[in-house]
Structure 1
């Protein structure tokens, strides 16, 4: 299909999407979620911290994000991260051992805990550990006095390991990892005026079908409320667990194009290939900035370029998924990654 034909299709699809978004907002009279002051896990950074690599830090951040989203105190994240270090070295292990051949994931949860797809999802596995298994297994919050119990005792009450003494050895490390993760969220930018798609907006000629799918999906989330740690699977449902944060928005957008991205900004900043010259930015590129607590070397916020000098992103707590001008991010762009092409 020609680039002009693809652009016409994209324009039609986007028009339908925006009509849907506007209609939903009018029907729901969208109001912000309750935003209690709470630490939120970072979704950015690069390199190795304290001997842990990007995969491990990403998983620790995912666990911390779930605890934050559930409104649990920091202690819950520390216990959960220490448990995952003990069980899997913070790696999403796809196999068990002689004692538990069906054990899977960060917490090495066995089949009765839930579907393998959930146990192999860092966010899903953390939810199981904290709130309980599908087969009635108690989660951390079900354990009496879990907040004041020694870490090893609290972890063992959930895991029922043959080696309960091992959890305590990782408490200090878990505290450090959660400390890295628990920073304020958000794009760190001054509040800007509303940015709307230009009338008759189309994606640039020659845009790949995968980018068309990703951008169209992301634009369908406009006006939905940000929720740190939300998986972005049902942003209009009213469930904070299903709303979007900056990295789940881009991850799910590309999932709609049948492309897998890492869950967090930390992982996505290594996805695809680098675009060194910002003037070569094109629709579908991931654009990274420091955010409220990051740096140019360790960006903690991102958006999805859609062309015409615009980006769609989930800015931070108390804000809605919205458009921004690339010029508003000028001078702060830490990285650009091209996922397609």
Structure 2
């Protein structure tokens, strides 16, 4: 019996050690895949520390922003709160995009409206109405009291909202917006913020993706898919396609070189699409006419469209969707390649439709 007791104790100790080792060896939590995250998209467990030094991130316009340890700490707070509340990687991407546009991840007091806000930890003093914190949330709009909104964790919880949010849907947080998962990142941010500058968020999406990767520990593929990007059979993503195309914006003129004749010395709309797809993805769309390139694709809804998909004004024009509501395209004679921030225009009375190249079907998400 003594041997049996000793064996039982040893077994119990071994079990405890296995559990401890498992916990220590598993510092990651998995995002919900319900809204754009995808299974396997992970972030460090909430409560992790931010490393020293600075982190430089870039916008769609090619500008850069260097974040110090305090700004990085605010980013981690947003990521941690989102993770704890089961928000998908896309939802957290939207929150980071919003905070970058509103404050560049600075915690703002507002002593002109609320002198007492200076008594709380803050990074700067703002003057925009009665706005506070890195989301610029307003007490007068019902987001919370000064004390609450100067708390970074509360601010993040208020932005996400939903059943666990502090405001119970009024004002609406991200999770309270019907269909936010299908929206472009900038549109979803605007739906929460109701900003006077609704198009300003889109420029920060690449920077927010870099934060998900650099601070959040999210893999490159997950960060890209959160912003709307698939992976082609060669492993390159739609985000890679957009980044490659961006270097030619404002530089390459429209010309008569269409389809497989397109090159950085000049191209028409189909020549641009052919060249970029060929160079980045190894996929050839050689037809010189829009209908020919669409014949090698299948139509998808706007909600399904990802960075790198095609957007076409059937019978007239074609370009590459940027994943956040805009299009990179070669528009017309006398104009260089453009990155137009909204696809919502018509050509010959025809509006935009969205298409995915059939060869992408062999890729992964």
Do they superpose with TM above 0.5? no
Report the TM-score when normalising by structure 1. 0.41
Comparing both structures, which one devotes a greater share of its residues to strand? 2
Max Rg structure? 2
The structure whose RCO (Cα within 8 Å, separation 6+) is larger is 1
